[in-house]
Amino acid sequence: MSDKETQVPKHDVIIIGSGPAGLTAAIYTTREDIETLMFERGAVGGLAAVTDKIDNYPGFPEGVEGLKLADDLRKQAERFGAVIELGEVTAISDEGEYKRLETTSGDMLAKAILVATGSDYKKIGVPGEQEFYARGVHYCATCDGAFYRDKKLAVVGGGNSAIQETIFLTRFASHIDLLVRSTIKASDVLQQELEEYVKNGKVTVHLATSTQNIVGDTSGVKSVTTQKDGKNKEFEVDGVFVFVGLLPNTQFLKPTPIRLDEIGFVITDQNLHTSMPGVFACGDVRCGATMQIASAAGEGATAALKIREYLEGHMHPIQN
């Protein structure tokens, strides 16, 4: 082995991603005295950190701010010895006992890897969406909603996140047009809450309405063009918030033998083991995930315990 190879840092476990799944896993691995390094390319806490209020996480009867929950998870993981490094993993390869990770901090080796990179906001792919990103087009109400105090907004989407974020945006916006491609698919509880804002005139719901174009100028977004029953309609708005689902953050895995489904979610067995020995996955990046913070945290704990079993030599990966 060359001097260069011996200088490559070696770790017991590297966790890629620091959302609730990754942070929970780190709490468990470090408590098991498994040396753990975490890599995070964005914000610690993942999408949970930019969620205004989480009402369905166990133990918080009044709900909890997403940023607070994420920060508390980080502090707990660090208290037990987890190290969080800001950077990005760009590739993974299998070298037997160790897996090699190519990162923005240089190459690293780990006996086991946990992929907990979560998902990112799906785009609607219409003209103007990319052009006006962060200049009137947004994907995070908590991050950007306050910029639209007493302004008119459009929200695109009809699922739980779209309704939750629409309700949150009523704190700032003078009026919101909710553009739903088919029908509202949010939970009954959220639909009942939304109805209150419809009744008081803060929100207008437009069903079977597809977004066609986002229009603006150098100052930002000015309007949204929609289509319903073959007819176009233009809504004058100051901003557009898009909530149409999530896509897994697995681009860095596509050159590897790790099996992904047709969308790009990581396929695992019942032990959360992927098709590459020593590489596990949990949370919203995993095929079959429920996209809930509580279950992501639970999978993080399970993954950590299964990684311990693997390191002790008691587990084998799923077969291709």
The predicted-structure confidence for 243-282, as pLDDT tens digits, reads as follows 998 889 999 998 889 999 999 999 999 999 999 999 999 9
Parts of the chain belonging to CATH 3.50.50.60? 3-121+246-311, 137-242
CATH number for the domain whose boundaries are 3-121+246-311: 3.50.50.60
Residues 236, 223 contacting (CB under 8 angstroms): yes
Mean pLDDT in the chain? 93
The pLDDT of residue 1: 45
Between strands 119-121 and 220-228, the pairing is unpaired
Specify the higher pLDDT residue, 18 or 48. 18
Check pLDDT > 90 for residue 142. no
Closest CA to 76 of 138, 27, 144: 27
3-state secondary structure 185-246: CCCHHHHHHHHHHHHCCCEEEECCCEEEEEEEECCEEEEEEEEECCEEEEEECCEEEECCCE
* Confidence band, pLDDT 50/70/90 cuts, at residue 316: low
Check pLDDT > 50 for residue 3. no
Closest CA to 15 of 43, 35, 42: 35
Beta-bridge mates of residue 53? 65
* Confidence band, pLDDT 50/70/90 cuts, at residue 121: confident
The pLDDT of residue 246: 83
* Confidence band, pLDDT 50/70/90 cuts, at residue 320: very low
Compute the average pLDDT of residues 206-219.
96
The pLDDT of residue 278: 95
User: So what's the architecture of 137-242 in CATH?
Assistant: 3-Layer(bba) Sandwich (3.50)
Sign of CA dihedral 250, 255, 258, 260: positive
